Amino acid sequence: MAEPSGQPTPEQDFSKPVAYDQQGRPLYAHPPAFTDDQPPVVYVTRPAEPLQPHISEAARQRHEEAKRLYPHLNLSEGEFVISAIRRHPIGLLSIWGVVGIVVLLLFIGTPFVLSNGIIFGQLSSESIASLGMVILFVCVLFILGGIIATVVYRGNRFYLTNESVTQHIQHSLFSKKEQTISLANVEDASFRQHGILQHLLNYGSLRLSTEGDETTYRFNYVSNPFNQVRLLNNAVEAFKNGRPVNPEDD
């Protein structure tokens, strides 16, 4: 039997035998898969345009409507708003209740102080005018503070879509932030109503916990919290099971 001609090289003619077996049959060398200076290359092709998921006509209409109503939200293709939660008006009652009490006390107390100052000669006319201006300025400040607190209170929003949850948090006129959570990361959603007033006026707090980092999100003064949690749990279940949320069912 002839001896092999050694290791094949890229320059070899692999159509010619390099050895023969005991029966005289030719043996051929196989071309190398790659060399040291030429690593293997895997070619992967992808479509020129990514495949688009199927979006029903009802979901498409809801998507266009949500873009029109909530232009500040970053909605993906086919994403629509299921519920836009605002804070219950009960919070405004506490804000304007404080403002009203302070203003009322100032307006009731001012005539009493001024009248006593005139009767007993404790205040001059210039002092009375200055005191009246100060009290009026304080009233204006409290009313302006109530307006700012109302804007901040109403600036807190909670949006549930068929893909995510977005919470707008506003601490002041010039301090706000936004949190967006994918429904795939939502682990638990619940609500709490505490006290007679919350049950009578049907408002409470919404609690949302996520997987992994174990972060808990809360949104207070939610109107009809039972219904909001029901919508949220249904959307999470549908998203995780890979089935679309029916727009007619929300």
Cα 60 to its chain centre, rounded Å, is: 21
pLDDT tens-digit readout, 192-226: 998 899 999 999 999 988 876 667 888 889 989 99
Which has more pLDDT, 59 or 3?
59
> Contacts by 237-242 with C-beta closer than 8 Å and gap 24+?
238/162, 239/162, 239/163, 239/183, 239/184, 240/183, 240/184
Cβ contact 161:140 at 8 Å: no
Q: What pLDDT does residue 117 have?
A: 55
pLDDT tens-digit readout, 26-52: 666 666 655 556 566 655 556 656 556
CA distance 235 to 186: 10
Average pLDDT estimate for 13-35: 65
CA distance 85 to 204: 12
pLDDT tens-digit readout, 88-99: 899 899 899 999
Spatial CB neighbours of 146, under 8 Å, sequence gap ≥ 6: 95, 96, 98, 99
pLDDT tens-digit readout, 135-152: 888 889 999 999 999 999
Tokens of 140: 């204006």
Nearest to 9 by CA among 27, 29, 23, 28: 29
52: region left, alpha or beta (phi > 0 left; psi from -120 to 50 alpha): beta
Q: What pLDDT does residue 2 have?
A: 47
